[in-house]
Amino acid sequence: MNLKYLLDIDKTELLTALLAFILIAGTVLGTRLYNLSSNSAVHFEEQTEILFSELSILAELENILSEHQIEYDAVELEWAANILGWRRYQRGRYVFEGSYSYNSFLSKMTKGIQDPTSVVVLPGSTLERLSSSVAPKFYFDTEDFLAVFEDSTYLAEKGLNTEQLFGRMLPETYLMYWTSSPKDVVNKILREFDRSITEEYLETAEELGYSFDEILTMASIVEWEAKNEDEKTKISGLYWNRLERGMRLQADPTVNFALGERRRLLFEDYQYDHPFNTYLIDGLPPGPITNPSLSTIEATLNPDNHDYLYMVANPDGGHIFTETFREHQIESEKWRIWLREQLRIKRQNELKEQEEANGENS
């Protein structure tokens, strides 16, 4: 075979291979360069939350992506991280949904551009329930959050006791960052409370002859008692009437608070010795028993003008209001009769279900 012919073939094949390599390399490089800034490099089918509890590296990010079953090119991601310099990711919470370029995806976490989390504070809560609903939104646990309300230094700094601080946990929806500390969270809610309590509120409290802390305490009782929004001003008027006449409040929610549980009260519960039990103490309890909403605070500051002194629950979830104790006794008996009937119906239904179950098993 002619040596010159072989050399010509080898050169042709070499040139073809070289051109193919250049084409492939160019295509790969072009795709990678394109993905640096185009929204097609990393795709999230659904909203995905990435959490870093500390400064993290690329390997940790890749582990999280794998845990969430996010498809991506590991080699290309590492190349992009090296080229762009986005290799360390700040502590925080980052939310992704849809498609991203490597630049937008990695830079967000490197720069620590967190996505806020929505925190809902409900009215009429307990400190334990508030802690259980708030803490999962952040890096800390419930014990860390509860500790703020027992921190004597912090309480002294705010000039509040535990109940007064909790009473100021204004019901609202807040946007906060996952990395916020327990005190950051409490401080933000306190700032919103202070912003919402206008000078007009303070002036109205003064006209009523009470400090704002006393108004907040009364509002907390109204919050716990009122199941219907339209009853709040009537209930607050009733409680203010009792105080003005030198009567004890005798508010059932204060007994529930003293007992530490929400349930139907028994006769002996009313004798439970506790500084918050308004069946045994005169005037208002030492502090709020829950966190009232702004509407309840307003209702407490602007009570209905009436002569009601007594109320008892009714089957509709509201109350029957009366002016005399005799009227109250009559309505209370009606309520007890209704409760006994409900208990009878419940037991009858349970017995029927048991009989049907026994029949099926026989």
- 88 within some domain: yes
* Residues 222 and 228 sit within 8 Å (Cβ to Cβ): no
Is the domain of 121 the same as that of 98?
no
Band the pLDDT of 13: cuts 50, 70, 90: low
Question: HEC profile for 11-74?
Answer: HHHHHHHHHHHHHHHHHHHHHHHHHHHCCCCEEEEEEEEEEECCCEEHHHHHHHHHHCCCCCCH
| 3-class SS of residue 263 | coil
Q: Are residues 282 and 232 in the same domain?
A: yes
Q: Over 70: is that where the pLDDT of 324 sits?
A: yes
Mean of pLDDT values over 165-194: 97
Per the CB < 8 A criterion, the answer to whether 302 and 233 are in contact is: yes
Residue range 54-63: average pLDDT? 96
Residues 181, 203 within the same domain: no
Residue 20 domain-assigned (yes or no) = no
Q: Structurally, how many domains does the chain consist of?
A: 3
Provide φ and ψ at 139, rounded to 5°.
-75, -20
Residues 187-211: tens digit of each pLDDT: 999 999 999 999 999 999 999 999 9
Q: Do 182 and 216 fall into the same domain?
A: no
Q: Are residues 314 and 254 in the same domain?
A: yes
Residue-range definition of the domain harbouring residue 102 = 33-114
Report pLDDT for 12. Answer: 57
Examine residue 362 and state whether it is found in any structural domain, yes or no.
no
Judge whether residue 1 has pLDDT over 80.
no
- Report which residue type is found at 245: R
State the Cα–Cα distance between residues 198 and 345, nearest whole angstrom: 50
Based on the domain organization, do 172 and 221 belong to the same domain?
no
- The mean-pLDDT minimum among 68-72, 115-119, 170-174 falls in 68-72
Q: How confident is the model at residue 2 (pLDDT cuts 50, 70, 90)?
A: low
pLDDT (mean) for 237-251: 97
pTM attached to this predicted model: 0.83
pLDDT for residue 4: 55
Final residue of a domain: which of 58, 84, 114?
114
| 171 and 223, same domain (yes or no) | no
Instruction: Indicate whether 80 and 188 sit together in one domain.
Output: no
Which value, in Å, is the radius of gyration of the alpha carbons in the chain? Answer: 33
Task: pLDDT band for 16, please (50, 70, 90 cuts).
Answer: low
Look at residue 46 and tell me whether its pLDDT is greater than 80. Answer: yes
- Residues in contact with 102: Cβ distance below 8 Å, sequence separation at least 6, in sequence order: 35, 36, 37, 41, 42, 76, 77, 80, 81, 84, 86
Q: Is 163 exposed, middle or buried (0-12, 13-18, 19+ CB in 10 A)?
A: buried
- Both 138 and 219 in one domain: the answer is no
Nearest CA to 236 among 294, 287, 305? 305
pLDDT in tens, 326-346: 999 999 999 999 988 998 998
CA–CA distance, 294 with 198 (Å, rounded to integer): 11
Question: Residues 262, 256: contact at Cβ < 8 Å?
Answer: yes
Distance CA 291, CA 297 (A): 10
Domain-terminating residue out of 99, 114, 129:
114
